[in-house]
Structure 1
Amino acid sequence: MVASEVSSVLDLDRVLIVPTAAQPFKDPRGPAAGDHRVTMCRLAVAGDPRFEVSTVDVDRGGTTFTIDTLRDLSREYPGATLFFIAGADALARFSDWRDSSLLPELATFVAVTRPGHSMAALPGPFEVVEAPGLDVSSTDVRRRVGEGRPIRYLVPQPVADYIDEHDLYSGGRDD
């Protein structure tokens, strides 16, 4: 939903959904394997021509740093103007990101409103897009699955079906 809103507001030609290999600020045991995350992203955006899933980070492997992602995408899409879309909660830690002072040279950073997070406290010059106030996070989805609680309406139904089919996030075989 956020990608759709930003795409519309900024009139973007295409939005790349880029699942990470391993996020530096999260427990590496939390997310599903990269191939599962790529598949879930593809299921989530299937049928919407504005979106494409890039495997640049999963293919590179290791810890994913935004500086590497943006450098790789700049090589893959020479001459393209890149926008990096993230929630206000993630961008609140922007100064902790590797080579954060170099990042604005590679992309325009778009801060998307998140319930409970102040846009005024953000540490950088970000373009701000107001998105509908759904407070859904991947951490919450994983927690709910692990607790056996429903995730219907929090993720697209094909993604919920895939999580269930592969027993992701519940301590089963594919975590």
Structure 2
Amino acid sequence: MLQVLTATEKQPVKQQTKKLFRIKEEVMKAPTCYTDRLVENIRHTCRFDWMMIEQVEFGEDLVHYVLVGPKGVFLIQLNRTSAPVHLTNRECRTETSMGWKHIYPHPVTELERMTKQVRARLKKECGQAIPVYSLLIFPETEQLKLKRVKANCGDSFEFVNQVISKTNLETLTEPLVKQIAYYCSERQIHK
């Protein structure tokens, strides 16, 4: 389990390289990972009472990130395609060298199905309805074109911060947040 505010910034790595006649010290950029980028974007919105769990398995579905806080449960799925993506409610296409390729099953349909499944599991576990929101992020795509999409989709982790900020209700109590976080951490896949 990861408390959101405990993340620290990565320091630049210094590396010695050999040139023709002398050794030179170069500063390389610290490697970034999706978790660090997500935490950096939500650090000020999600304060001490939020928890983030990575790689949670609900049945056959793997959720990349689960954020649990007073505003509800936020499921964050990543689509790591680097090609341009055009997304509508009916179809999802990616650009290839041979033209546009349709993606099946539709990522938004899969996200909705997974959200309903998680909502039902949490209701059974907690004994009450839990607000569950889902987000689909395309962090590597060159271009994301959305047309009348009913789901929360974006191309950067800043979008997660915007969705959490728009959610006004704070319906979950601290014991309930801890119960949900514990339930999710039991299903976490450690790599």
Question: If the length of structure 2 is used for normalisation, what is the TM-score?
Answer: 0.28
Higher alpha-carbon Rg:
2
Q: Identify, as 1 or 2, the structure richer in helix.
A: 1
Ranked by relative contact order (alpha carbons within 8 Å, sequence separation 6 or more), the top structure is: 2
Q: Identify, as 1 or 2, the structure richer in strand.
A: 2
